[in-house]
Structure 1
């Protein structure tokens, strides 16, 4: 085996990646024990694979630290990780979570993964090949199982690296300010037949697969009702989905992995949080960092790249390239550096060199030349920068006000009264084009896109810009006279009223490229977006309907970003009331969530005057 460098490698040719990441490890270098059934406290057994180093043709008898993945996506797919860590001085353990693939029991969304994780860790700690120390690894759902184990306080757990991890689900990224992110509707429709109890029967699996194949049609018939679709054949999946879509408040239903509201429950261990500016859990990654950093000694580190979900080894997403320097080419070696330090006590680059030199590592987007690369993608570019904290201490929070004439400026409007109105028809929602999305399979595109329809958008196939729609209000600056860096958390404060008792308001931040030889029509690049469901305007804990015609102030929390708006570009904010199928569509009727039978067209009034100054608050970073 070739030894793997401990440097954080952003650029490595593909052949080098295959070697240094251990993907070509010979079978004789490690031993795999498959389908060990590990008992939980209630007698349910979870299927577990164990990868160990080979020494002199036999599995090593040495007690070693363990790298653990607890995942719902089939442990058999963890072979490359297992081979890598088993050939680099660790035991690697992969376990199917409860009710998934080869494990017994009934699946529930993360709620079993705290106690199951504790039981799994206790079992590992008693094995002759374990030194009693566990580091966890995994992305998305099995980033969430890391958080679940840390919140449950498993004694053997010594460090975690949650990537794009499920957390704070009632706040943002699953329930998002009261709206439901339909990517998890999509996840359920896809996974009800894959790896589920119901999918073990061939006939049932075929019916559920047919349902999954018709997702576009089912999306147009929302809400999904209990017992009214083939999803009833996978009852635990139907029960969770319908319950989640009916449960808007950030209450006990969403308690599992709620780190923001209970950081004191998190075990005091070293934590490295990983996510991207275009990932569905990006906002929760920064929120988790801000919650844990002052609460535990950790240490707590965070890296944010220009990535979509689970694509840290990539540098181009959607229609945009951020440059090859954006990619983490070797996905296992940099983690091993972390594990070597905290599980083996090795004095290495942790705390001394990037990406471990400072607690925060961010990719600042937007410094490319704006041309086309060899594949026709916008060269938005960017560079890496190390920071001491998040948000950045030198941030200058700057109000950019919506102007009566469609402008966006730092001067507050002088008009005593100014409004813009539009009609929001739930039967004709604004289509989603990119953004912070995962589980997008076939219903959405992820990441950075020109805000223009086309064949790639199933519900907006005509090649026209979103700005052409009458239900999208556009507010933009004059062309910038100098570069402007925006790095941090984003909020829109919107003064608005509606003819409805409940509705939604959405906001999207866009980097407007001017026309050029490569882009004769310019390029409207989505940077961040957000939503608020009006009944949750006062609190995420309690629903309060509106009085039609009364003006309220709404806070739209967008996803965080780091982007340089270059000289000659415009900063643009789009205001509307839907972004489908990123979010479920509000019927405007005020009926209980996911139980409506009617829709009504709502007339929306946006105020942008001296006494009701709607605005976006941008975290501006002064030029050095």
Structure 2
């Protein structure tokens, strides 16, 4: 039976359109309403009331998710009997509950009105309250909810994953006073630096089908194997030519990408870590990062770093770093790829960290959650830390002649190792044995599939005799040259497992990635103003790898791989400088000879942030 308070409130809302539900939907206590924003645009909203508010005897906080993934699709599985949906029991398994769960289609998405702008910039200002953005839409939605949902106690939490993590963070800018807490899981923050669309200037062309999926164009279907995908992209040439062939030239966001290949004002205005630093939120916030997040590896930690100078650490800003791929914190967390943890890490985090965190700020219950909760892969343990990264010592790991790695510098005289990079035969990003590409676990794929190639340099350390724990950002310092005038540099930090390590586990003898990323050489001096490289001249590159929390165990080796393509995940660098790689012609793609310094003044090395005693002191038992 529908709660009387909600009936009267919804019918009284002249600015909203109510969707009348079937008897079964009423039994499931699911209601929809279209809420008007300050400019008159209506946003489709689903309200889910748990049985605990039946009869109006109890008032509960609201947990709001503003989504691009379809509020109706997500909540269509929600009832108090479901055991399969991540949101089953109206969010009880996910976040402890009970809460009033509200999901809303973002502007221009699914059943909401208005125009959708991908990670749109902040539009409203202190002097302009009429312009709309995701911040004002969150404010207007919350204002309506606390005045029209009789069952709420007037407190609101924001929670969202991926793009919905972006809308969650936007909701903290000039936040509504009713917002008491927020959780952003794997949020999209900066689409050029390292989330989704680009990584340090290299374009993730496998996302083109998503860019074209706006309902107005034919679906772009990619083949299912790496080799078939590679052939499809090689046939078209540049990523721009691929998009043109598939008819997405009139997609607004695609045109914006083509027009802004560098880190110019377009991308900087959308860099949410910068925006939040300029508009620091006053709401307790938990940021959630996945060590093997194949989509948004940059955002959560970028926001953490942006807010740290604001003095928002121990009391109002929290961080979780888990051993997960994208969005895995909400699913089963026993493994990522072949890496198995011996526990459901995601379930532990939801029960022991997320649930008490939300309850503390929305229900005033006690909490013992540490400011930083981090999983240490390699040793398989959770740590509670007062800050991130912990105190570490920088230990340079040198690339040496004869493809060795060591903590002692190489010869004082310049030596180089060379490889041949051919755009017609790029290095694949995943092994291809004829099977279907995993778009979820490629970042944790065994890297043995590229060893032995003449376009990949592999360096290996001696076998470790003591544990080596690394926490923070490894920084690769390459001394490198190319015979061309542009080049990509892919750097991989890898844990080499011994051949007899856990036989049958999938990691015996494996080269398991710890941190990998790509850097487009033209941005060596400036991310905003690319320049051609000087042919055959060794130059220094500083490449910040994704942050890690990992212990290299005794009996293992450390491996570093260097290559100049990662295909077809990222678009190919022509290796000849052109103004816009999206517009490169077939004749622009040329073979280049790359050299890496393994001695001398520009000696290549990776600075490892090492925990001196092997383990940071933990606030958790």
Whether TM-score is above 0.5 comes out as yes
Provide closer, same or farther for how the CA distance between residues 162 and 567 of structure 1 changes in structure 2, counting only shifts above 3 A. same
User: In 1, Cα distance between the equivalents of 2:195 and 2:243?
Assistant: 26
Match of 1:402 among 395, 399, 402: 399
Match of 1:182 among 198, 201, 205: 205
Provide closer, same or farther for how the CA distance between residues 616 and 324 of structure 1 changes in structure 2, counting only shifts above 3 A. same
Match of 1:284 among 299, 304, 307: 299
User: In 2, Cα distance between the equivalents of 1:261 and 1:589?
Assistant: 35
Q: CA deviation at 1:68?
A: 0.4
Corresponding residue number in structure 2 for 1:565 = 552
Q: CA deviation at 1:537?
A: 1.0
Q: Point out where structure 1 has 5 or more consecutive residues left out of the alignment.
A: 1-25, 199-203, 368-381, 435-439, 453-464
Does 2:337 align with 1:347? no
Per the alignment, in what secondary structure is the counterpart of residue 232 of structure 1?
Answer: coil
Q: CA deviation at 1:242?
A: 3.7
Report matched runs for 1:198-217 at 5 Å.
Answer: 198=216, 207-208=218-219, 210=221
User: In 2, Cα distance between the equivalents of 1:501 and 1:444?
Assistant: 34
Per the alignment, in what secondary structure is the counterpart of residue 366 of structure 1?
Answer: coil
Q: TM-score, normalised by structure 2?
A: 0.80
- Residue pair 1:496, 1:604 contacting (<8 A) in 2 also: yes
Per the alignment, in what secondary structure is the counterpart of residue 102 of structure 2?
Answer: strand
1:43-66 CA-partner distances (Å, limit 9, x unpaired): 2211111112346865x4865421
Corresponding residue number in structure 2 for 1:456 = none
Match of 1:317 among 319, 336, 339: 336
Corresponding residue number in structure 2 for 1:371 = none
Does 2:255 align with 1:239? yes
User: In 2, Cα distance between the equivalents of 1:152 and 1:540?
Assistant: 30
Q: CA deviation at 1:293?
A: 2.7
1:412-443 CA-partner distances (Å, limit 9, x unpaired): 11241201111211222111139xxxxx9755
User: In 1, Cα distance between the equivalents of 2:176 and 2:593?
Assistant: 52
Provide closer, same or farther for how the CA distance between residues 291 and 238 of structure 1 changes in structure 2, counting only shifts above 3 A. closer
Does 2:429 align with 1:432? yes
User: In 1, Cα distance between the equivalents of 2:243 and 2:396?
Assistant: 48
Does 2:292 align with 1:300? no
- Residue pair 2:410, 2:600 contacting (<8 A) in 1 also: yes
Corresponding residue number in structure 2 for 1:450 = 446
Report matched runs for 1:462-611 at 5 Å.
Answer: 465-516=449-500, 518=503, 522-591=509-578, 592-597=580-585, 598-611=588-601
Provide closer, same or farther for how the CA distance between residues 610 and 553 of structure 1 changes in structure 2, counting only shifts above 3 A. same
1:552-601 CA-partner distances (Å, limit 9, x unpaired): 11011111111111112110110111122332221112211311113111
Provide closer, same or farther for how the CA distance between residues 227 and 274 of structure 1 changes in structure 2, counting only shifts above 3 A. closer
Report matched runs for 1:86-101 at 5 Å.
Answer: 88-101=97-110
User: In 2, Cα distance between the equivalents of 1:39 and 1:451?
Assistant: 51
Per the alignment, in what secondary structure is the counterpart of residue 528 of structure 1?
Answer: strand
- Residue pair 1:67, 1:135 contacting (<8 A) in 2 also: yes
Corresponding residue number in structure 1 for 2:3 = none
Q: CA deviation at 1:614?
A: 0.8
User: In 2, Cα distance between the equivalents of 1:183 and 1:501?
Assistant: 25
Does 2:606 align with 1:616? yes
Q: CA deviation at 1:468?
A: 0.9
Corresponding residue number in structure 2 for 1:20 = none
User: In 1, Cα distance between the equivalents of 2:38 and 2:275?
Assistant: 28
User: In 2, Cα distance between the equivalents of 1:233 and 1:545?
Assistant: 28
- Residue pair 1:135, 1:160 contacting (<8 A) in 2 also: yes
Provide closer, same or farther for how the CA distance between residues 481 and 82 of structure 1 changes in structure 2, counting only shifts above 3 A. closer
Per the alignment, in what secondary structure is the counterpart of residue 405 of structure 1?
Answer: helix
Provide closer, same or farther for how the CA distance between residues 237 and 249 of structure 1 changes in structure 2, counting only shifts above 3 A. closer
User: In 1, Cα distance between the equivalents of 2:67 and 2:288?
Assistant: 17
User: In 2, Cα distance between the equivalents of 1:575 and 1:594?
Assistant: 24
Match of 1:140 among 157, 162, 172: 162
- Residue pair 1:108, 1:240 contacting (<8 A) in 2 also: no
Flag the structure with higher helix content.
2
User: In 1, Cα distance between the equivalents of 2:342 and 2:607?
Assistant: 28
- Residue pair 2:209, 2:221 contacting (<8 A) in 1 also: no
Q: CA deviation at 1:125?
A: 3.4
Report matched runs for 1:120-159 at 5 Å.
Answer: 120-129=141-150, 130-159=152-181
User: In 2, Cα distance between the equivalents of 1:481 and 1:277?
Assistant: 25
User: In 1, Cα distance between the equivalents of 2:284 and 2:110?
Assistant: 31
Q: Point out where structure 2 has 5 or more consecutive residues left out of the alignment.
A: 1-23, 79-84, 121-132, 615-621
User: In 2, Cα distance between the equivalents of 1:486 and 1:185?
Assistant: 35
Q: CA deviation at 1:536?
A: 0.9
Report matched runs for 1:23-34 at 5 Å.
Answer: 31-34=29-32
User: In 2, Cα distance between the equivalents of 1:71 and 1:414?
Assistant: 55
- Residue pair 1:424, 1:577 contacting (<8 A) in 2 also: yes
Corresponding residue number in structure 2 for 1:17 = none
User: In 1, Cα distance between the equivalents of 2:590 and 2:558?
Assistant: 33
Q: CA deviation at 1:333?
A: 8.0
User: In 1, Cα distance between the equivalents of 2:508 and 2:31?
Assistant: 58
User: In 2, Cα distance between the equivalents of 1:338 and 1:56?
Assistant: 22
When the two chains are superposed, the root-mean-square deviation of aligned CA atoms in Å is 2.9
- Residue pair 1:399, 1:618 contacting (<8 A) in 2 also: yes
Corresponding residue number in structure 2 for 1:119 = 140
Per the alignment, in what secondary structure is the counterpart of residue 540 of structure 1?
Answer: coil
Provide closer, same or farther for how the CA distance between residues 44 and 240 of structure 1 changes in structure 2, counting only shifts above 3 A. farther
Provide closer, same or farther for how the CA distance between residues 481 and 241 of structure 1 changes in structure 2, counting only shifts above 3 A. same
Per the alignment, in what secondary structure is the counterpart of residue 294 of structure 1?
Answer: helix
